[in-house]
Structure 1
């Protein structure tokens, strides 16, 4: 397959991803599951399926997805739940590695211990891309979302350390406990430092760029650059991208202007949608190369199942055991003394069940040396485990949330209407001061602005304090405004059709209507 054919093939995959995503929405199944199964179907029936370099997949696709996830991470909740996140990142990953290794060796005594633990390390960290794809469609308590997203963003460092230790042991390389600890801290420290430097560099560069599209390009380039630089100097590329995204996310409100923020959000959403879809299709397509290596002999397939089934059961069970044994139960015991709200049983069940694996595990398995003992079985088992966790856990997560009736917790902060009323009240106070200073504004203009802001303050205060009736009254008012925007747009298009305005003026005024329509639609969201 030449470069042009590969390009056309990728275009067809993107079109197929769009169709499968539409199908998933129609049948109310997580798109990640449908995309994965679609990729498997293509891999089985397709005659010409290109083999994807796992390192290229990680370097090209993963950094933008990690950057997007970390950029929108709720930083305050992340810091508040850092103890739980660390417990999952280090404790749960290590416990899962040991549990999977022991279970696989128990059913396959001929497989070396190092190979069993290598498989455990490969599948121990849940995947950030998979977690985001499954969880973003379900409203959950804020701290549960913060823990799941935070864990999936930073747990690859511990999984990678255990992976490297197991590979070194299997290849007869000497590695000590102190050397392993040093490797872990080296990966973490270098990755975080590179991410901080890249994030600070972006925060310095972006405000100095006049063209917003150039700024958007810089954000993408920095996602790939922070990953590549960290990997080149011996650090964790994943942690580097995550750190860079967190820095930019915390400072975005000072770094981006309104124009860049609107355009960047639209651009990133479109590209992340395509990359998200491609990731799961490419995971499915990997089945083609895996089957070509392990062959279709029944003995090989049965051997793969003897490895995959205990590994999958152990990986799922180990996470549940860790969540309930190391987080939920101790949390309830400490809460009685500290007076803090403990994790509820329903939250713990969702936290334990949301352990989907994805592209990072597959890439790590495919990157094993060719001479690694049991390599084909490990790759095949990893693929089956990814399929099982995404299909079984991913598809059942939404029904589980509905059965448990898990909903976002009650607000401990201002409601949206209260916050809007406060911000408009500040603007109103400033406007009244402007009027007192007898500025150059005409009195009629000043009175109109005062009236407009008083209406905004009153509408949001009423919606906050007066219950559902006032909220519905405000919504009817907004719908009328939305209808008027539509009428204005049709009038503008009529002027253009009649040749009374040119294209440049059409686009300029229409963009203003678009922004106003987006504002009204956002206010009408439940």
Structure 2
């Protein structure tokens, strides 16, 4: 296949992924399931591409996906549920890795322990792509959503840290001791976080100086790959570096992004992330093509794969449930009985434990195994079977489980969207009097008209919450006053968010409206 043919082939894959995603939304099936089945069809049809570097998925695809996830993380909710997230990220992932390794080795004594641990590390981090698509359809307790989304952000890092250690152990001439393994673990963490902080701060410093939105958007993509590559080059975790870099930008985005850049960046990132996620699932066919080719010549691979996949799948599902109920739900109930605090309910714990579908990161990690890795074909084949099983069984039944448990969000403790709008517009209305006093060139009639417009906005949202030609200069002054009022509304909105009175969902919705209003005014002010 020539380079031109490969390019056309990738275009067809993207077109097919788009069509499958549209079909999945029409029939209310998680897109990951449909895309994965599409990859199976490609593999069975024998249309795979050989000669692809297995590290390509980790180096080219994973950094943007991690950057996007960390950028949109609700940092305040993430911090509030940090203990539970850490328990899942470190405890559940490690427990699952060990449980899968023991279960696989019990049925496959000939498979080296390092290979069993590698498989356990590959499948230990759940993927939130399919779960998030389902969870967004149902109103769930915010803390449960925060935990699932926060866990999905960081557990990829912990799973891949264990993966790197297991691969090193399998390929090393000497056995890795507990001391050396611990040193490697902390070196990967500390260097990864340090590089991510430096890259994040550098990116923010550059973004505030860039006027062209296109350059700023390109910088965010380049920094995703740069933070990953630099961390890997000096022996740190590229995954943790990208996550840290994305968190820094996510926390500071309201200050470093202009309205124009924020709107364009969101649209660009949404499109690119969709393509990358879709391609990751469809590209399974490219990897499975080689696996199926070896299966045709060696039928034992099928039975070996099943002997590995079945215990690995059962152990991965059971281990997460055991950890959630044994290490999170039960201790929380006991503490709540003593202190009177709020513990996780049985329904919340059940959904948390069952939302353990595997996906993008597990695929990328399995496909990135070196060609000479012991049992590579069996591990990739088993990982694929495990992903299919968890996506179909757990992903297909998660919505039903939510309905049966009748989970509902608790009473709102933050301001509603209408109340937040009334407060932000009210602050601008109050500022109009001072603006009218210091701006001598403003026509009083135009000022009154602007006050009337903001009174209408405030009144409308408060009610919803409780049940001849203008001269060019005058028009420009009027528009600049409106632009200043947008800035006042934005500052008030951010202050309310910092005070904990507005949640992230309301913040992003109203901030997007203010961004659009700012763009409208800037366009009108253009000569």
- Normalising by structure 2, report the TM-score: 0.85
1:14-43 Cα shifts (integer Å, max 9, x gaps): 110111011111111111111110111111
How has the CA–CA distance of structure 1 residues 79 and 48 changed in structure 2, closer, same or farther, with 3 Å as cutoff? closer
How has the CA–CA distance of structure 1 residues 242 and 164 changed in structure 2, closer, same or farther, with 3 Å as cutoff? closer
Q: d(CA) in 1 for partners of 2:162 and 2:265?
A: 37
Tell me the equivalent position of 1:268.
269
Q: d(CA) in 2 for partners of 1:284 and 1:395?
A: 22
Correspondence 1:104 to 2:107: no
Alignment of 1:154-233 (within 5 A): 154-171=154-171, 172-233=173-234
Q: d(CA) in 2 for partners of 1:212 and 1:327?
A: 44
Q: d(CA) in 2 for partners of 1:215 and 1:245?
A: 14
SS in 2 for 1:54: coil
Deviation at 1:192, TM superposition (A): 0.8
Tell me the equivalent position of 1:475.
none
SS in 1 for 2:208: helix
Conserved? CA contact 2:259–2:516, under 8 Å: no
How has the CA–CA distance of structure 1 residues 223 and 177 changed in structure 2, closer, same or farther, with 3 Å as cutoff? same
Q: d(CA) in 2 for partners of 1:52 and 1:327?
A: 42
Deviation at 1:376, TM superposition (A): 2.3
Deviation at 1:191, TM superposition (A): 0.8
SS in 2 for 1:295: helix
Tell me the equivalent position of 1:147.
147
Correspondence 1:455 to 2:443: no
Alignment of 1:97-496 (within 5 A): 97-127=97-127, 129=129, 132=132, 135-171=135-171, 172-295=173-296, 297-436=298-437, 439-466=440-467
Structure 1 unaligned spans of 5+: 467-511, 520-526
Q: d(CA) in 1 for partners of 2:403 and 2:191?
A: 42
1:45-92 Cα shifts (integer Å, max 9, x gaps): 134534542311111111111111111100001111111111111111
Q: d(CA) in 2 for partners of 1:216 and 1:296?
A: 48
Deviation at 1:137, TM superposition (A): 4.9
1:104-157 Cα shifts (integer Å, max 9, x gaps): 122223323332222212211223555555545554322222212222222234
How has the CA–CA distance of structure 1 residues 104 and 207 changed in structure 2, closer, same or farther, with 3 Å as cutoff? same
SS in 2 for 1:434: helix
Correspondence 1:81 to 2:101: no
Deviates more, 1:424-433 or 1:152-161: 152-161
Deviation at 1:168, TM superposition (A): 4.1
Deviates more, 1:2-11 or 1:126-135: 126-135
Conserved? CA contact 1:51–1:286, under 8 Å: no
Conserved? CA contact 1:66–1:128, under 8 Å: no
- The total of aligned residue pairs comes to 473
Alignment of 1:40-59 (within 5 A): 40-50=40-50, 52-59=52-59
SS in 2 for 1:341: coil
Deviation at 1:9, TM superposition (A): 0.4
How has the CA–CA distance of structure 1 residues 438 and 158 changed in structure 2, closer, same or farther, with 3 Å as cutoff? closer
SS in 2 for 1:109: coil
Tell me the equivalent position of 2:38.
38
Tell me the equivalent position of 1:90.
90
Deviation at 1:295, TM superposition (A): 3.4
1:155-184 Cα shifts (integer Å, max 9, x gaps): 234323433443344444221111111111
Deviates more, 1:252-261 or 1:351-360: 351-360
How has the CA–CA distance of structure 1 residues 328 and 132 changed in structure 2, closer, same or farther, with 3 Å as cutoff? same
Structure 2 unaligned spans of 5+: 468-512, 521-527
1:201-227 Cα shifts (integer Å, max 9, x gaps): 111101111211111111111111111
Tell me the equivalent position of 1:25.
25
1:363-408 Cα shifts (integer Å, max 9, x gaps): 3333334444333222211111111122222222223223323233
SS in 2 for 1:356: coil
How has the CA–CA distance of structure 1 residues 293 and 222 changed in structure 2, closer, same or farther, with 3 Å as cutoff? same
SS in 2 for 1:111: coil
Supply the RMSD in Å over aligned alpha carbons: 2.3
Q: d(CA) in 2 for partners of 1:6 and 1:81?
A: 45
- Normalising by structure 1, report the TM-score: 0.85
Q: d(CA) in 2 for partners of 1:130 and 1:239?
A: 22
Q: d(CA) in 1 for partners of 2:218 and 2:400?
A: 39
